[in-house]
Structure 1
Amino acid sequence: MNNWIIKSTLLSLLLVYSALGFTGTHRDSVSKEEVNGTFIMHFPAPHNDLANTLKVQALGGGKINVSFKLIYPYMVNGELQANTGELSGVARIKGDTAIYSSSEFGQCTITITFIKPGMLSVKQEGSDADCGFGHNVYADGTYYKK
């Protein structure tokens, strides 16, 4: 019985994972229309009216311009506070994956994967300080086209 539960749970997770576009395969290319635009990542409640923003512009020649406006919302004595971070620069794109790297503040690498039209994933390697962001500010997450 336990074996059946484990197998059915794994199958369910695989189906959900695939339905959301998170497959292990990468695409050979993405269109300019898919890349260009503003992408947002909303925070969970109670801050779901706040969002991190990423603007992307294809430059050609395997390059894109990226511009992040990020926040870390928190409450102090019932008042909303936020730490912030901004990052702008040129990332190299190959297939569906773009990589921005900087050592201005420390080693910071941000990988952007265009999962499917209207949806991308951001993975930050390096601390908030390494990327020049405020305390607890990170770019990580799934962003959706505005």
Structure 2
Amino acid sequence: MDATGTWEYHGPAELGKWLKTEQRNNKVRFQLELQRGSPSYNSGWIEGEFELHDKSGTFQKTFYGRLCEITFQFFSNHVEISQSAGSDSDCGFGNNVWAQGRLKRKSRSIPKFTNNDPRTGD
């Protein structure tokens, strides 16, 4: 299973999820952007790395003393993500923004990662 690629989900009211991944051996680097959509347009962004075991891996990071945990389950044409620990704010996301859902693979190429959170405009 090669987890490298670009993954997306587009839902109602401008809800969206975008994931970039690059697998090297059993390590996966990722950047995940989330958009809650209308009416609040709250959003979130996180990046990191996790170990891939078979087809799944779990990212864990402590922000301000609170655990954020996101699990990734890869399939050939989609990835399922779930926020298994931490609230929206524990992962640095806006109100009612959660890392969960199924994203379709858009590309198998190594994506171009941003240097910073793309929502900041830097």
Normalising by the smaller structure, the TM-score range is 0.7 to 0.9
Q: Which stretches of structure 1, 4 residues or longer, exceed 6 Å deviation after superposition? A: none
Structure 1: distance between partners of 2:15 and 2:100: 15
1:54-84 CA-to-partner distances (Å, cap 9, x unmatched) read 1110122x21001101111122xxxxx4111
Q: Give the Å deviation of 1:104.
A: 1.7
Structure 2 gap segments, 5+ residues each: 107-122
Structure 2: distance between partners of 1:92 and 1:100: 8
- Is 2:22 the partner of 1:57? yes
Aligned mate of 1:84, from 43, 46, 67: 43
Higher relative helix content: 1
Aligned mate of 1:97, from 56, 61, 86: 56
Aligned to 1:108: 68
Q: Percent identity, aligned pairs only?
A: 28
Q: How does 1:127-146 map to 2 (within 5 A)?
A: 127-146=87-106
Aligned to 2:109: none
User: Number of paired residues?
Assistant: 104
Relative CO higher for 1 or 2, CA cutoff 8 Å, sep ≥ 6?
2
Aligned to 1:39: 7
Q: Is the Cα–Cα contact under 8 Å of residues 16 and 36 in structure 2 kept in the other structure?
A: no
Aligned to 1:69: 33
Aligned to 2:119: none
